Amino acid sequence: MIRLSGISKRYNGSRVALDAVELHVHEGEFAVVTGPSGSGKTTLFRVLIGEEKPDSGTAIVDGRNLSRLDASGLAELRHQLGLVFEEPRLVDRLSIIDNVALAADLAGATRSEARERAAACLDRVGMLGYRDCRPRDLSGGERQFVALARALVNDPVLILADEPTLNLDPDYTLEMMRVLTECCAAGATVFMASHDIEALSVLRCRVLLMNGGRMQSEGFGEPAFL
């Protein structure tokens, strides 16, 4: 599902953010990359979603070579990804359900279909009660769950999450890991960047350790969840 080889990235003038990264994530796998702040996790995430062009190396996501995709090819790929960021990144002026429906809308669903799927996803993350609220009416944690629902609305083959639990309290963190694990069990591939011990402690999956832009070691998380 994800295959990176020799990916290097150096931001203008600063030190190396990614250094010849090799990564292979199988279809249906749940994999986590961890490491200290500044180790390159977010940069890796941005390369995977096509927001950052690596200086060298090839990135293949869902069978597509990212360096060969034009804008519309990339957009089409994004319709099949579920993205969760550190911040919820909701559109303030849209209601909760419209925020979730937006992703389906952009992927080509009709208005009613998009809203139907949005309602189902909000229900799945326990946020359906807020469907007609605005993002500003919700707490930070609740907003992040709306963002999770939005990531699921197109039934993604691959879920990519960058520090999704950064601003969550422990209960919410647990709940988010539960939903992601559930998605993985249902067939989606999940790749998460996180240095949240709380989140990692409940996962039983492959954990990659990054440091200074390099993949350092690989291990298995403490088996605690499910």
| Cβ proximity of 142 and 190 under 8 Å | no
For another protein, give the closer residue by CB, 6 or 73. Answer: 73
> Residue 76 interacts with another protein (CB under 8 A)?
yes
3-class DSSP assignment, residue 184: helix
Strand order in the sheet with 206-211: 81-84, 158-162, 189-193, 30-34, 206-211, 214-220
- In terms of residues, how long is the chain? 226
- Distance from C-alpha of 28 to C-alpha of 145, rounded to nearest angstrom: 22
> Residue 42 interacts with Mg ion (CB under 5 A)?
yes
The two tokens of residue 51 are: 């927001």
Is beta strand 189-193 parallel, antiparallel or unpaired with respect to 64-65?
Answer: unpaired
> Residue 112 interacts with ligand ADP (CB under 6 A)?
no
- Distance from C-alpha of 213 to C-alpha of 55, rounded to nearest angstrom: 13
CB of 23 to ligand ADP, least distance (A): 14
Of positions 7, 21, 23, 41, contacts ligand ADP by CB under 6 A: 41
- Distance from C-alpha of 107 to C-alpha of 1, rounded to nearest angstrom: 20
CB of 75 to another protein, least distance (A): 3
- Distance from C-alpha of 202 to C-alpha of 6, rounded to nearest angstrom: 31
> Residue 211 interacts with Mg ion (CB under 5 A)?
no
Which of the listed partners (Mg ion, another protein, ligand ADP, none) does 39 bind, with a CB threshold of 5 to 8 Å by partner kind?
ligand ADP
> Residue 106 interacts with another protein (CB under 8 A)?
yes
Task: Give, in order, the Cα–Cα distances in Å from 53 to each of 7, 86, 104.
Answer: 10, 20, 26
> Residue 39 interacts with ligand ADP (CB under 6 A)?
yes
> Residue 71 interacts with another protein (CB under 8 A)?
yes
Torsion over CA: 5, 72, 90, 130 (sign): negative
Site size with another protein, rule: CB under 8 A = 25
CB of 174 to another protein, least distance (A): 27
For another protein, give the closer residue by CB, 192 or 200. Answer: 192
For another protein, give the closer residue by CB, 29 or 76. Answer: 76
Select from 35-43, 99-107, 146-154, 171-179 the region that touches ligand ADP (CB under 6 A): 35-43
Residues binding ligand ADP (CB under 6 A)? 11, 14, 17, 35, 37-43
Q: Binding residues for another protein, per CB under 8 A?
A: 49, 51, 71-72, 74-79, 83, 89-94, 102-103, 105-108, 111, 150
Residues lying near Mg ion in the complex (CB under 5 A) are found at: 41-42
